[in-house]
Amino acid sequence: MSYPLLSVAAILTISGSICFAQSLPSTPGETLTAKRIVLADTVRGHTAVLIAGFSHDAGTGSGEWVKSIHADPAFAQCDLYQVAMLASAPAFVRGMIRSGMKKGVAPADQDKFVVLTEDEKAWKSYFDVTIDSEPYVALIDATGKLLWRAHGSAANLESQLRAALR
């Protein structure tokens, strides 16, 4: 008798799966070591964890995720990339922002820290961004399939990410 509710539930289920199955955007970016990179091409063939920040506030939480994943042997076989979206930052301050990021990232991790300055809408859609101030995390398998994503602190979510890895 509650057909309208059933229809809404079906639509939400279908649209949720469509959104979850989308591909990683093929946006060109640059690592903190100034290498050009297209993350979608780079991670193909590897299991990868992506940690994305869409604001300055998300940076601290992103760093905590990196430390947590580096310390957990369960992620030893995963490639780990940080992504910083700077499209909303004025072009004249992006260099200063990059410089500040580089100082805060270990030299060994700078080749896997990608700065993006375009396609913000596509990246926010991929990560399903609702709160810019939090870090977003995604687990991708070797075929590019999105296995898991969430946003928030590593302390609250790392166990879920580890479970999705299995």
Judge contact between 17 and 6, C-beta under 8 A.
no
User: What's the whole-model pTM score?
Assistant: 0.85
Confidence of residue 33 (pLDDT cuts 50, 70, 90): very high
- Bridge-based pairing of strands 79-85 and 36-38 is unpaired
* CATH class of segment(s) 24-165: alpha beta
User: For 89-142, how does the pLDDT look when each residue is reduced to its tens digit (9 = 90+)?
Assistant: 999 999 999 999 999 999 999 999 999 999 999 999 999 999 999 999 999 999
Express each pLDDT in 152-164 by its tens digit: 999 999 999 999 9
Instruction: Give the C-alpha separation, 112 to 30, whole Å.
Output: 10
